């Protein structure tokens, strides 16, 4: 027996099930599962993902077994649907759709109404008793097939689809406005013109043989696995290329045969808020793609989600199919124990389910659904914790618009994806990318978005569309990305040519600032101040559960009492990195810092440092107080001194004036401090070793503040961290300086405080010699930003030029500055942990690079046995959740 | 029984021997050994190095046991010498000298004639029957003790010794020129004046108690272990601080009691040439320090080494002691089986040996002595190979003056240390250091050198002195350093004040260029062109023996056919690194390179690269031809592109003109290519990945040249090396480019060549993931310069600022850019070798960083199992020898 390549589904004869996602793709396995559950799905079959791999390996050729099994699959459909593929009287029409193991909505190609030709069209017309429907179906088929299979789709976004030009001309000739106003003859004429256009452009005749049509479409779907959109999407979503897509061939059912037909998409719960309410949209007399494309504004499916009385719900106009749909959705959610995203078509009063899948949702919805499902007994707490994508929480944590701010709302659309965004208007996805690269915050404004816009949508702070509903492309994609989106904003007139959008006569140009409130659907003029979000009780619940499971601590990187408090509210269990240099820039301090840098000798430096001491002490006092009872890790001065001097001509002049010296002297000092590679230069502990008086001042400020607070009854746990250690001797040197000062200060102030002296591990050599470094260090904290820079030999400031090229050429799976490179940098970390703990078995080890807030990196930190991660305040909840998930999945 | 701290020697009662160097120091253990051999040494004892450590640990205090054992030691001397310490009639005088485990000539303090006071002086006068001798001895003692123990020595080199001022005044008063012209009364008066001066300056009386004198001197010697000179010397010679020095207390013998007395130093073979001839100098009626200090010009000891008839040899004037000396030196050389450096004194016709130690020698002498000793059956070949310091060979390999060049020899001195040096005159050691730091080649010109000058001598290209013989400080130190030296050049009048030297009325100022021929003793005006040295047959012998023992290959880093041939003559077995970028600067090429950089698109870059292709092909053709039958590793383009553009205003103007564009365009490109940290930027394989056309052109040039030569019957073994690989995917990318071009070229040219594609391992991440990289790489070559930069996080261009400070504070044992950091960087290398060979057990692995020519690093490379090292042509013999030594010692 040959390998099984084709898996049937529909009425009784179903070969697959939901567990076979890898082989049948998401869509195929779920169609089989629905079929197994007795839910009505149009009969069909799935060509497995193995065939996709073979297709690429064999240059688009198939084994005979595949051909045979596809033929058998078609017979299976014919049998169940009681129609015959290519038959003149009772023709079977088919759809051909992609279906990968991971959802890639809209990224690959689809062909509908397949099987039509000059012969079968007559059978369809006869059977539907609707000539216009017949020719419209044929017109759609030729257009889709022409685009997808025969390469008629324009390569550049600027060019218009040739078929749309023909349609527009026809409408003009006929003096009508909408496609729906064209009659059967017009559509018949369009079919002819379309075929002529294809012949003209490609030199090929449009195929009349249904089998040729079928294989052409199957090939096109497999081929679309590697189109640019799909590649981009896979990269963004970490989907491996070798998975491949399955192809689903299925009997067509029609939501557009007349007013007793409809088509719709729905979610078993509200995907934006998570509310436990069936939530969906439908269109009467339409094909499925019409709902998603956003050309006609869809209607709510049920009474509960209707927002105004003028809307006609499905519940109202087709109560019986709706009741059936309601039963099915409940069945599906219970069966899958997760919120489902479903598609359905009603053909002449009969309900057909076309798809079910786990629904994408906002972070807020994810949290609410998870907590409520635990309450409903559908899932347990562990599952609830695993259900929420840690990264997605970011959406909930970022500021919202200040409710008390003055806002000029210029118009309102659908609240398609929550969040608050302020940025400058751009009208094209590629411009969004260009502007964003230059550091601009942009909002992408489109009439509607399409899968081609994925890159621009990814970088935009927010998305605004004039057309489309809550399930439009823009809305679905934005929610997935956690990007704020206002959709279907009908009052917007967008002109791509002049790059303007007009609302009630007011014109907004490219580059103008606007703001979007994705939770309310508001479009606001200019910038709007933001405030901290209020976190829901459900959020608190999830965090509470996460903390039950997680094994490693979560600290924060914070340099001010304000940030410290903020992070503490988010659940931070201490400060893992307090950068002291940020404090050097405020107000008068920078003057003293510059005095120190300009000083000719140690005495001069000490005089300047003496001025800084009270400021630093005050800084630490505030931070220690805010973090009472929790450890606070303070890093001694890290950046090269030139960073504290002005590099612009004008600012040098200003500094000279302020310091009472000549500009030339300033210039000379800047030049003297110039380095070819400052990242590898005179910074970190190298400063403290050259100028021990700097470390002394900082140690004094820390210990004085700590002693003072202890006298006031506040519990302080300072941890002094020496940066950029590469050898044990460096740490010995700086530790000696710190301890001497600390002992002296405690004696002076007549009180003892507990403090630790530890080190960053951010130089490869420190990781490699961690056993020696640990002889001096009381704790380790991985500085993974620098460690990544040095392990890769990439300067973060410069790598942009070639990393872009690396991305295109698939040289790196991830940006190593975003997600820790476990394969390389990870080894240094594992070596350091192992060696460090060989010397001191209980050595406290954490991470304070930006990776500390990246869920995949947190998983790594858990796995290699760190004691804590430290990240920016807003990422603390993400890290808490990621740590819990790591603990659960690594059991 | 308490610990033994004091070890006696002299007639029968000898506690130590030559194996106890660590405990007794070199001098002490050899004195004991001589005593054991029955050679006459003045009785004495050694206070062990353990006491030195205790002295520093206990703040200069001693255990009672030490005091007791010293007292017993003095008794032991009294017994043998038949005199009594502090006795009025028959007083024993002592010397107190340092003696560390490693030779540190002149670095630490010495006190002679100890035990003299107003009472014992009478005994000495009576006994020697020489009043002048007595008072001269006392005068010398007070002066030495005052300087060494009582702190009379001026701190700054500018100040004159206060005692010398007094002597000068006395000579002026007496109207005499030399110290020797002062009579007993004068000297007696000097003693009084010296004591007054000491009282005036220090407030202390000069001690009269011999025991107080003894302990003062012992303390001073221990204390001198940490004086600045000693610290510098230890750092230069990698001597650990914890070793400490021993102190030798010994009966005084006098070479200055009259004309039947003499003192001298000698080598058992000629230390400059290695000739098998007893070679030494002596002075009649003098103390030992007089010979070394170079104040009187010493005479040759024997007839064989006499250079003119006016010289009086020891052989001639004191035949009996000379015969005894001859027997002893032969005994010593046979006993130690190495050339010895000996000191002797003849007191009233009796020969006393004061010291024997392994003699320092020039590289040429080392080679000759080793080879001849094998011939004499004294040592075996392995020992001969181990006897030569690999680093020292450098002296033999560097160019000598072109014998055909016009040379104006302005005067001639002693050929004290061979070699040829050209540089600018400086007169002070610290100025030598300052000038040298600024990149100037300097020659240090001194009346005579002293241990304080060690730093300046170390940086000078050559040393010229007006006074002193072949065993003067300047000569000994220069030979040790391998620095060219002309000594005792009496015609020179040096004036430190005006910073001039005058020869026969011609004045040379500071900064003037002169040249020194250390092999001939010539001082030459201006600069002299140099030629390659001729290597002796002995050198070839040693290299031949080295090659018998060595296990790893030695290649060279060479970028031109000339360097390749040169290296091949030095024994290079291939090229380990051919840098292609050096070729980009020559002649017209730079224009094409710049065209490429300025090109707007790939087509433009390809057009420019097409112009470079023939040049590169020609380069490789020449190199391959020169290295026929040997492998040649060629690295693809490595440096960032901005290095090929001018950065100065004027040159930018010039380039603009040449390229027919505006200066602004040049400026704009330079700015566009600017990077914050170019070392971590767009360079190495990152260039080839962004612009594959560059790699294509280079691969084509390499393979075309190889094919052409193969057609001509020349055997070529190209190895194409991709730099700066951090991930396997990078190598895959570049290897694909290379292989595609290579296959195409071979097809075009109709001939096949064998070639390899490998990678540099110079990025820490590449080392860590070497198992993966090895899946693609056909060889590894460690780029230890970059690997060191990234493992330490040091930019070589910038680290100078803080590494100087690190050096002062003893943070790093060695400059990691000179000697491979085995503790850290070495781990990365070991990891990479282990992982690489896990994937490919036979993977060829070498090193091409500059460490490849550093003996200690070569030893490491041998130990970790590399296949070869690669270094600059001149270092090839050094690496060959070091590799042999590594193989022998690591057996």
Per-residue pLDDT reduced to its tens digit, A283-320:
999 887 777 666 677 899 998 888 788 889 999 999 99
Inter-chain residue contact A690 with B801, CB threshold 8 Å: yes
Tokens of A143: 């257009």
* Residue B378 pLDDT exceeds 70: yes
Give the full edge-to-edge strand order of the sheet including A500-503. Answer: A493-495, A500-503, A506-509
CA distances from A791 to B505, B782, B788 (A): 63, 15, 11
Q: Are strands A844-847 and A868-871 parallel, antiparallel or unpaired?
A: parallel
Q: Nearest by CB to B677, which of A677, A801, A827?
A: A677
The answer to whether A677 contacts B678, with C-beta atoms less than 8 Å apart, is: yes
- Sign, CA dihedral B316-B317-B320-B322, equals negative
Placement of tokens 């489309």 in the chain:
A468
Q: Which phi and psi angles does B494 have, rounded to 5°?
A: -105, 130
Q: Whose structure tokens read 């040091």?
A: B794
Task: Identify all chain A residues contacting B812, using CB atoms and an 8 Å cutoff.
Answer: 727, 729
Place of tokens 């035990």: B115
Q: Given this model, what pLDDT does residue B480 score?
A: 63
Residue B458: predicted pLDDT:
86
710-769 in chain B: CB under 8 A from chain A = 724, 726-727, 729-730, 733, 762-765, 768-769
Compare CB distances from A733 to B798, B811, B821 and report the shortest one's residue: B811
For residues A632 and B172, what is the distance between their CA atoms, to the nearest angstrom? 75
> Closest Cα of chain B to A718: distance in Å?
27
Mutation site for A-interface testing, chosen from B669, B671, B680 by largest number of A Cβ within 10 Å: B680
Closest Cα to residue A814, out of A861, A863, A856, A870? Answer: A856
Q: What is the pLDDT of residue B576?
A: 97
CA proximity to A772, closest of A835, A689, A864, A844: A835
B673 and A CB contact within 8 Å: no
Interface test with chain B among A731, A793, A808, by most B beta carbons within 10 Å = A793
Task: Check residue A549 and give its pLDDT.
Answer: 97
Q: Pairing state of beta strands B442-446 and B462-465?
A: parallel
Gyration radius (Cα) of chain A, Å: 32
Burial status of residue B30 (CB atoms within 10 A of its CB: 0-12, 13-18, 19 or more): buried
Kindly report the CA angle at B337 between B886 and B325, in degrees rounded to 5?
150
Cβ neighbors of A771 (< 8 A, separation 6 or more) are A835, A836, A838, A839
Label residue B412 exposed, middle or buried (CB < 10 Å: 0-12, 13-18, 19+): middle
CA distance B483 to B516: 11
Helices (H), A270-340: 288-293, 314-317, 319-336
For the residues B129-156, what does the mean pLDDT come to? 91
Of A690, A765, A772, the CB nearest to B802: A690
pLDDT for the residue numbered B467: 82
Rounded to 10 degrees, what is the CA torsion of A360, A364, A370, A375? -140
Chain A residues lying within 8 Å of B764, measured CB to CB: 764, 790-791, 793, 824, 828
Q: Average pLDDT over chain B, rounded to whole?
A: 92
Chain centroid to CA A336 = 24
- Interface residue of A764, A814, A817, A829 to substitute, partner B, most B CBs within 10 Å: A764
Give the 3-state secondary structure of residue A227. coil
Q: Both tokens of residue B689?
A: 């990945």
Q: Do the Cβ atoms of A631 and A574 come closer than 8 Å?
A: yes
pLDDT recorded at residue A293: 64
Residues of chain B with Cβ-Cβ distance to A679 below 8 Å are 676-677, 680, 793, 795
Angle at A351 between CA A348 and CA A355, to 5 degrees: 130
Lowest mean pLDDT among A359-373, A474-488, B125-139, B627-641: A474-488
- The bridge status of strand B462-465 relative to strand B484-487 is parallel
**A731: nearest CA partner in chain B:** B811
What's the whole-number mean pLDDT along residues B582-611?
A: 89
Q: How many residue contacts between A and B have a Cβ separation below 8 Å?
A: 167
- Residues in B touching A602 (Cβ below 8 Å): none
- Give the relative orientation of helices A649-659 and A663-673 as an angle to the nearest 10 degrees: 110
**Residue A377 burial class via C-beta count within 10 angstroms: exposed 0-12, middle 13-18, buried 19 and up:** exposed
User: What is the percent of chain B where pLDDT is above 90?
Assistant: 70
Candidates A226, A212, A209; CA nearest to A67 is A212
Give the gap in angstroms from C-alpha A637 to the nearest C-alpha of chain B.
15
A7 is written with which tokens?
């898996």
Say yes or no for a CB contact (<8 Å) between A765 and B793: yes
Write down the pTM of the prediction: 0.83
Cα(A857)–Cα(A872) distance, integer angstroms: 14
Q: Does B789 touch chain A (CB under 8 A)?
A: yes
Residues of chain A contacting residue B241, judged by C-beta atoms under 8 Å apart: none
Tokens of B561: 């056919």
Could you tell me which of A870, A591, A849, A584 has the C-alpha nearest to residue A701?
A: A584
The answer to whether the CB atoms of B812 and A729 lie below 8 A apart is yes
According to the model, what pLDDT value does residue B270 have? 93
Residue B707 to residues A362, B440, B561, B693, B879, Cα–Cα distance (Å): 63, 46, 18, 21, 32
Which tokens hold the place of A469?
A: 């509903």
Q: Spell out the residues 6+ positions from residue A663 whose beta carbon is closer than 8 angstroms to its own.
A: A652, A653, A656
* CA angle in degrees (0–180, nearest 5) for B21-B247-B215: 160
Q: Show Cβ contacts of residue A344 under 8 Å, excluding neighbours closer than 6 positions.
A: A263, A264, A265, A266, A325, A351, A352, A353, A354
Largest Cα–Cα distance in chain A?
A: 103
DSSP code at position A390: G
Tokens read off for A801: 């030029």
Question: Can you tell me the distance from the alpha carbon of A754 to that of A628, in angstroms, rounded to the nearest whole number?
Answer: 13
- Selected residue with higher pLDDT from A801 and B99: B99
Phi-psi region of B392 (alpha: psi -120 to 50; beta: other; left: phi over 0): alpha
pLDDT recorded at residue B194: 96
Locate the chain B residue with the closest alpha carbon to A675. Answer: B798
- Comparing alpha-carbon positions, the chain B residue that sits nearest to A678 is B677
Measured between CA atoms, the residue of chain A closest to residue B768 is A824
Alpha helix (H) ranges present in A341-486? 363-375, 381-387, 394-397, 429-437, 454-459, 473-481
Q: Are A474 and A449 in contact (CB under 8 A)?
A: yes
The partner residue sitting opposite B764, judged by closest CB among A733, A764, A786, is A764
Q: B131-148 and B120-128 helices cross at what angle (nearest 10)? A: 140
pLDDT at A157: 64
The residues of A annotated as belonging to the active site are 473, 848
pLDDT < 70 positions in chain A? 1, 156-158, 292-295, 471, 480, 482
pLDDT beyond 70 at B295: no
Which residue in chain B is spatially nearest to A823 when comparing CA positions?
B769
Instruction: Give the DSSP per-residue string, B565-610.
Output: HHHHHTT--SEEEEESGGGGSSTTHHHHHHHHHH-SSHHHHHHHHH
To the nearest whole Å, the CA of A642 is away from the closest chain B CA by 13
Tell me: pLDDT of B1 over 60: no
- Only one residue has tokens 């107003």, namely B118
- Cβ A776 vs Cβ A840: under 8 Å: no
- Give the residue from chain A lying closest to B808, CA to CA: A690
Phi, psi for A632 (deg, rounded to 5): -125, 115
Helix H or strand E encompassing B433: helix B429-437
Q: Is the dihedral of CA A286, A291, A296, A298 positive or negative?
A: positive
Q: Give A-chain residues touching B679 at CB under 8 angstroms.
A: 676-677, 680, 793, 795
Nearest CB partner across the interface for B726, out of A772, A792, A797: A792
B711 vs A355: CA distance, rounded Å: 68
DSSP state of B303: G
Banded model confidence at residue B419, pLDDT cuts 50, 70, 90: confident
Pure H helices in A149-271: 162-174, 184-202, 210-224, 228-236
């Amino acid at each position: 027996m040959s390998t099984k390549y084709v898996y049937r589904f529909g009425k009784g004869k179903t070969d697959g099930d939901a567990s076979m996602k890898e082989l049948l793709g998401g869509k195929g396995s779920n169609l089989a599962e629905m079929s197994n559950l007795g839910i009505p799905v149009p009969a069909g079959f799935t060509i497995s993902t193995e065939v996709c791999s073979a297709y690429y390996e064999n240059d688009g050729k198939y084994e005979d077994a595949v051909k045979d099994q596809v033929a058998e699959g078609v017979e299976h459909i014919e049998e169940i649907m009681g129609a015959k593929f290519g038959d003149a009287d009772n023709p079977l029409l088919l759809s051909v759709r992609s279906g990968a193991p991971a959802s890639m909505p809209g990224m690959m190609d689809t062909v509908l109404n397949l099987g039509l030709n000059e012969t079968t069209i007559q059978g369809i017309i006869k059977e539907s008793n609707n000539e216009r429907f017949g020719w419209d179906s044929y017109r759609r088929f030729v257009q889709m097939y022409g685009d997808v299979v025969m390469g008629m789709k324009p390569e550049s976004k600027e060019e218009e689809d040739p078929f749309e030009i023909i349609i527009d001309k026809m409408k003009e000739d006929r003096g009508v406005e909408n496609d729906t106003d064209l009659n059967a003859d017009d559509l018949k004429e369009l079919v002819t013109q379309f075929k002529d256009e294809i012949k003209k452009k490609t030199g090929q005749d449009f195929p009349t043989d249904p089998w040729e049509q079928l294989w052409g479409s199957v090939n096109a779907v497999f081929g679309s696995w590697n189109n640019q959109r799909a590649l981009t999407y896979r990269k963004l979503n970490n989907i491996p290329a070798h998975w491949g897509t399955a192809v689903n061939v299925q009997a067509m059912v029609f939501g557009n045969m007349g007013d007793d037909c409809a088509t719709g998409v729905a979610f078993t719960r509200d995907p934006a808020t998570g509310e436990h309410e069936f939530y969906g949209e439908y269109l009467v007399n339409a094909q499925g793609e019409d709902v998603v494309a956003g050309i006609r504004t869809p209607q709510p499916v049920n009474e509960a989600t209707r927002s105004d009385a003028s809307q006609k719900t499905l519940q109202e106009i087709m109560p019986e199919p709706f009741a059936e749909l309601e039963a099915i959705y409940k069945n599906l959610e219970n069966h899958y124990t997760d919120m489902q995203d479903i598609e359905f078509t009603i053909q002449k009063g009969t309900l057909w389910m076309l798809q079910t899948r786990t629904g994408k949702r906002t972070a807020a919805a994810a949290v609410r659904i998870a907590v409520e499902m635990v309450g409903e007994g559908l899932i347990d707490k562990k599952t609830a914790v695993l259900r929420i994508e840690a990264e997605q929480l970011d959406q909930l944590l970022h500021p919202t618009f200040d409710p008390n701010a003055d806002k000029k709302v210029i118009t309102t659309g659908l609240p398609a994806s929550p969040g608050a965004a302020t940025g400058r208007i751009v009208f094209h996805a590629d411009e969004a990318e260009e502007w964003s690269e230059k550091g601009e915050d942009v909002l992408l404004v489109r009439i509607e978005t399409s899968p081609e816009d994925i890159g621009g949508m990814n970088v935009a702070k927010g998305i605004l569309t004039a057309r489309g509903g809550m399930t439009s492309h823009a809305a679905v994609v934005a929610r997935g990305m956690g990007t704020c989106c206002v959709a279907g904003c009908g009052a917007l007139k967008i002109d791509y040519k002049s790059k303007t959008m007009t609302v009630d006569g007011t014109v907004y140009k490219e580059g103008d600032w606007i703001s979007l409130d994705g939770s309310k659907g508001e479009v606001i003029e200019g910038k709007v101040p933001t405030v901290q979000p209020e976190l829901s009780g459900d959020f608190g619940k999830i965090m509470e559960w996460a903390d039950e499971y997680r094994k490693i601590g979560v600290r924060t990187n914070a340099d001010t009492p304000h940030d410290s408090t903020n992070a503490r509210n988010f659940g931070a269990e201490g400060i893992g990195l307090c950068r002291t240099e940020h404090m050097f820039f405020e107000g008068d301090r920078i003057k003293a810092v510059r005095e120190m840098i300009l000083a000719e000798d140690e005495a001069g430096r000490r005089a300047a440092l003496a001025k800084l001491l009270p400021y630093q002490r005050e800084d630490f006092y505030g931070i220690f107080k805010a973090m009472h009872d929790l450890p606070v890790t303070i890093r001694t001065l890290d950046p090269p001194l030139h960073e504290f001097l002005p590099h612009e001509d004008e600012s040098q002049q200003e500094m000279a004036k302020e310091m009472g010296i000549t500009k030339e002297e300033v210039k000379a000092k800047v030049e003297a401090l110039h380095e070819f590679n400052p990242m590898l230069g005179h910074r970190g502990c190298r400063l403290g070793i050259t100028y021990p008086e700097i470390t002394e001042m900082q140690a004094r400020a820390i210990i004085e503040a700590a002693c003072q607070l202890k006298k006031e009854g506040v519990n302080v746990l300072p941890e002094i961290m020496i940066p950029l250690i590469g050898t044990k001797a460096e740490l010995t040197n700086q530790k000696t300086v710190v301890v001497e000062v600390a002992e002296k200060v405690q004696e002076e102030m007549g009180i003892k405080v507990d403090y630790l002296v530890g080190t960053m591990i951010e130089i490869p050599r420190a990781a490699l010699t961690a056993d020696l470094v640990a002889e001096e260090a009381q704790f380790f904290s991985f500085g993974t930003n620098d460690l990544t820079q040095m392990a890769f030999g990439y300067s973060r400031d410069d790598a942009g030029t070639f990393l872009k090229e690396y991305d295109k050429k698939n040289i790196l799976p991830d940006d190593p500055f975003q997600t820790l490179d476990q394969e390389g940098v990870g080894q240094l970390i594992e070596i350091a942990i192992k060696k460090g703990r060989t010397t001191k078995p209980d050595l406290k080890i954490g991470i304070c690079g930006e990776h500390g807030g990246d869920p995949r990196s947190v998983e790594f930190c858990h796995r290699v046995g760190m004691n804590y991660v430290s990240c920016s305040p807003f990422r603390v909840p993400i890290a808490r959740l990621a740590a819990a998930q790591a603990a659960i999945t690594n059991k």
